[in-house]
Every structure is written in C-alpha cells, then in structure tokens.
A and B are shown apart, each in its own frame.
Chain A
Amino acid sequence: MVKMASMNVLLETVQLSRRFGGLEAVKPTNLRVRQGEIRAIIGTNGAGKTTLVNMISGRIKPTSGKVFFKGRDITRLKAYERVAIGIVYTFQIINIFKNLTVYDNVVLAVQRGLTKGRWGVLGLDQRLVDREAEKILSRIGLSDSSSQIAGTLPYGYQRMLELAMALPLKPELLILDEPTQGLSAEEIERVATLIKDLAKEVTILLIEHNIRLVLELADTVTVMDKGAIIAEGRPREIEENAEVQRVYLGI
C-alpha cells in the first residue's frame, strides 16, 4: 500500500490495470502527474492511452490497482464525483449537446460549476448563471452565436466550445483526449493557445498524436506501448530516446 505521495504530485496511479476478456489493454501502471505541469501521453493506436485516462476519469473501472488524487484514494469514486473534486475529461471524439444551443451547452457547465453538493443545482440563481455563461462565451468568442444550435458550428468551434465547457467546472486536472484530432492548421493553433492559456490555472493531461504540438506544449512526455509505459521524460529526451523512436516513430 503506497503511502501518501509527496505534496506536488497531483495524480498518481498505482499498479492500475485493465483487461478486456483476453486482452490486457493496460498492464499494471504507475503514473505520477505533478501539480501545474502539462503532461502529454503519446503512443501508437491501441497502446492503452485512452483506457488509462478513462480509468483516471472514472469512465471505466480498473481490473486492479488504485488511483490517488491529491493523495486521496479515488478508485471507488464515480465519474461525476471525480468531476466534483476537479478531474475533468474531454472526449476524443467531439462530445457536446449537438441539438442544444451553444448557450445551453455552456450554461449546463456553468450551473454545475456554481453548485456544490448533489441537488444544490435545484435552487440556483438564474441571473448569476447567465452572467457566468456570458463570460465563458466571450472568452472563446462565441457570444454572438450563443443561440445557434451547437451541432451546426464549424468543427473547430465545436472543439473550442467543448474545451470552454470544462472551465466552469473549476478543474484541477484537465484530461484532453486528442483535442486537435481532425482540426485544420489554424484551428489547431487556436486550440493550442487556449491550452497554454488554461495551463496557467490547471494541470493538464494531454493525449496527442501530433508530435509537433506535444513537443511545443508538454513539460513532460510519457510514452506508452502495448499497455505499458516504456519511457518518460522531458520532450527533448524523449525525442532522442532510441526505444521510443523504434516503437513509436518507427525509425
């Protein structure tokens, strides 16, 4: 049983593993994410990145092992409870309320952020909610299209919206699962700036294929292969790591 980790470790997984039937998607893994860093996880498809972060965000249960957040064992917490303590996850495939207005999307996040406790949301000051929502909207420059149906926004804006919806939840650990997937060059730029901007306030766990972006953003890079961590270090070190080059860059 691991004793409580040093103060600056925000998230820690201990021998965390998951198997689907015969396949061991994630072998027992120990991952440590420090407060305030941007941590990137890279690896080929099926390396187990998404499974790992899903266990961290609580969307799937681990087969064995534990997850600690700020030293507290949260392995048993449900996903929505983890959100409440500051672990926020954004999906790999854009996942917003496509049939609702941009405004409603943001408000749903805002009102959650404004309430503590289970049913607190039932008695909420609508004016306050509106004000907060406006702030968020203007931050991502969607104030004008607030009454537009979210699904009709350009792809990039949908991604921006999704990221923006994470803010009101006051995350301490923000898990971004391939946020630039399918975005155009300048859309990627916009997202990148937003991430840098966010990083001032929160710790970020970033799954990303776009190496350039990873090297540009990440403080630390973790490389996964076949469900296990094979390397970890500063971007530069990783770039030079022969092992990584072999499995990942295929060199």
Chain B
Amino acid sequence: MKLENRRRILTTHLSIILVLFLLQFVVPPFHATMLTRIMVFATYAVGYNLLLGYTGLMSLGHAMFFSTGLYTTGLTIYYLDLGIVEAFLLGILASFVISALMAFITLRTSGVFFLIITMIFSQVFYLTTLYFNNVTYGDQGFVLTGKLKPLELAGIIIDFSSNVVKYNFALTLFAFSFLLNLRLVNSAFGRILVAIRENEEKAEMLGYNTLGFKRLALIFSGIIAGISGSAYALIFSYVGSSFAFIHNSINPLLWTLLGGAGTTIGPLVGTGLMLYLIDFTSSLTPHYPILVGAMLIAVILGFPPGVVGGIRRRWLKWLP
C-alpha cells in the first residue's frame, strides 16, 4: 500500500464510523435497532473476512467462536453474577483460547478438509451446549434480563436495557474491530496473509512461516467473532444453542462474499444488505430463505468480487 493512499483510506474508514454514529440521531427507532444488530453481526463478518478474504481460508465453524463469546459472557453473568466488563473480557479470553486451540488443530488440514473439520468441530460445540443443558438450558437457552448490572463510568450510569447504550456499545465494538482489521491488513502482516492467499508456496520460499501466519490469522478472526458473540449476549440478553448451529457459520460467509471478500468495508455492506433484505422480504413471503440461497449462488456465479470488491475494481482502486 503506497503511502499517499494511507491518509485517504484512513479518512474513508473514520468517516464511515462517523456516519454510523450520526445515523442514530436521524433514523427512526426501529432502524436504529436494526443498525445495532447489523453492527454486531458486521463485527462477526469482519472477523470472518480476515480469514476468508485475506488469508484465503474458508471456514464453516465460526459459529463456534461466536458462541464461545456468547456463552462465556452469558454464563458468567447468569451464574457468577459478574459485571458486564468482567464477563465481556472473559468472553474475549475464552474465544482466544478456543481459536488458538483450533488454530493448532485444524490448520493441519487445508482446502475442503479444513472446511469440513471446522464444521465438525463447530457441530461438536453445538452438541456440547445441548449435552450440558442442565447448565446451558440447551436449545431453549436462558435470559440475562435483570442480571445485567448497570455500569457506572465517571458518574454516568450506563444501563444496557437502553437502546442508546445498545447502539453505541455495538458501534464501539464495530469501530474497534473495523479499525483493527484495517490496521492489520494494511500492515506487513496483512500483506503476508494476502501473499499466502495468492501463492502459499512462493510465500514460504520468500522465507515466511506460512503456517504460523495462518494460525495467527485464525486466532485474530476467532477473537473478533467471539467479541461479537459476547456483544450479542449483552445487547440482546439471550443465550441459546441455535447460535452454535451451522446456519450461524454460513451467515458470515454469505455476508462477507456478498459485501466483498478481501475488502475492509465489504463485511459491513454485506451484513447490512442481507439483514435488510431478509427483513424486507420476510414481510412479503415466509419463504425468504430462498433469498439466502439465491444470493449465495448469484454472488459466486455472477459477481465474485462482491459489492465493494466490484466498486474497488471499477472505481476506487486504492480501497484496501
């Protein structure tokens, strides 16, 4: 990435965050909640994209990382009455541990096998949440309402049942992962990931420990997914095993591909488009899942670079 582009890129990303911040003052309340949801899931997608878009590793097991954050935060609040901050940090820690574990196990495989093994591990996680349902309440799940202690920061009481708090909490986390991701992919590190995606053999012959970098990428990706999971628990105060199910691994895949794999802005765009599309069509027909299917096929067949990828190709070549 040439130096003259760096300023331009940074301003673009900061202004996106600024816009997201300002939107909450203009959009009607329902759309504010939609944006909250979108930002939480976009964070998830950002994490996923780091692996798929930049490192070229397609996982079908990210529901496991998401749920690790979700359950750790949820359970520690539910049983140990932890404060929001502690529970949240524990969620991140847990998703770090799990993704590190996965990084060392699953990356011994590659291609389709990587995809299958991540899927199966995620399935194991899902079954485990069912198996220990005397703790997790399995598929029925459990509720955090009334257990979220309001935070007190510098005299200001932050109550998580308020929509404003939800929105800005989601925004903060999204902004964080959004910028972290930007920093990563614009650094030497990001360039190496791309090199691995493009030509792993060559990357290794340039002296890069490709396996090591793939592991690192998976860990970052897992942590970001975990963060969004923890955030979901705090914002929507419900924890249940359906979030560990395979469908929740497919979602970030679709969002990322639609928005544009290997672009920093793509995940946000893809998530936003898809959530609104589903919300819109679900009021027209109960069969909106067809849309999900059609989208998956359409993107791969018709528009591989995805929305932002296409924009970059045609107009803004400098977009990261």
Contacts and interface: CB of A to CB of B under 8 A. Distances in A.
The answer to A–B direct touch (Cβ < 8 A) is: yes
Interface of A: 57, 59, 78-80, 83-84, 88-89, 91, 95-100, 103-104, 107-109, 111-112, 115, 118-119, 121-122, 124, 126-127, 129-130, 147, 165, 169
- A-B pairs, top 6 by smallest CB distance, nearest first, are A83-B207, A124-B188, A111-B188, A97-B198, A121-B188, A112-B207
A185 B185 CA distance: 41
B149 interface: no
A79 B204 contact: yes
Interface residues of B, number: 22
B251 to A, nearest CB: 28
Given A108-B195, A118-B212, A80 B204 contact: yes
Given A80-B207, A108-B191, A108-B195, A95 B212 contact: no
Contacts of A119: 212
A127 B188 contact: no
Mostly helix, strand, loop or mixed at chain B's interface? Answer: helix
Contact of B203 (A57, A103, A108, A169): A108
Contact of A96 (B194, B202, B212): B202
A86 to B, nearest CB: 10
A169 B198 contact: no
27 contacts: A80-B204, A80-B210, A83-B206, A88-B205, A91-B202, A95-B199, A95-B201, A95-B202, A95-B205, A96-B202, A97-B198, A98-B199, A100-B194, A100-B195, A100-B198, A104-B194, A108-B203, A109-B206, A112-B208, A118-B209, A119-B212, A121-B188, A121-B208, A122-B188, A124-B187, A129-B188, A147-B2
B207 A169 contact: yes
B294 interface: no
A126 B189 contact: no
A113 to B, nearest CB: 8
Contacts of A80: 204-210
